Amino acid sequence: MARAGYSLVELLLVAALIGTVSAVAMPGILATVDESRAIGATRYFSTRLQQARMEAISRSADVGIKFAEEAGGYAYTTYVDGNGNGVRTTEILRVVDPPIRPAERLRDLFYGVDFGVLPGLPPVEPGGAPPGADPVKLGPANILTFTPAGTSSSGSLYILGRKGTQYVIRIFGASGKTRVLKFDPRLRYWKPL
């Protein structure tokens, strides 16, 4: 009478094979997860910008997103103009321009993703200036303001994934609309998303 089953050697061989295939596949899977987080954060924030634009239109008041550099990253808060002269840092501090949403940090919502710039990153536009080390390009006050007419201040926001995936959100003042680009490190080229 024959016994059905597997020998210990066969079981060890299958376990070793599964371990080897898993070890080979894991870096690719992790890179995909990191890239998905970075693109998710970029799309999330692009949507937040459009929500602020709609908020300005619906409230008939300027709405601004102020960026504050903190230890280890950036926080951002959305404010509404409380006295009709625009969203200003001094009036935020005096609560003349109150917050309409609590402060958020991308790194709290998307693990390993924050505003950041890869070293040596080329300019987004040919002939333009490279971004340098500052990922928030909105002027000295670091406030992006949307008006009731649907326009905004202009600027660029660079978002960096944990494994070096680089995106930029470009904000066009005349229309208040955004454009998202991804940096291709092999070609050293920015391409639309």
> Is-contact 68 126, C-beta < 8 A?
no
> Is-contact 52 46, C-beta < 8 A?
no
> Is-contact 34 161, C-beta < 8 A?
yes
- What is the architecture of the domain spanning 8-192? 3-Layer(bab) Sandwich (3.55)
pLDDT 10s digits, 21-51: 767 756 655 556 678 899 999 999 999 999 9
Query: For 7, what's the count of Cα atoms within 13 Å in the CB-facing half-sphere?
Result: 3
Rg, C-alpha atoms of the chain: 23
pTM for the model? 0.83
> Is-contact 65 80, C-beta < 8 A?
no
Helix (H, G, I), strand (E, B) or coil at 114: strand
Residue of higher predicted confidence among 82 and 10:
82
pLDDT 10s digits, 151-177: 999 999 999 998 899 999 999 999 999
Give residue 14's pLDDT.
Answer: 78
Residue of higher predicted confidence among 7 and 40:
40
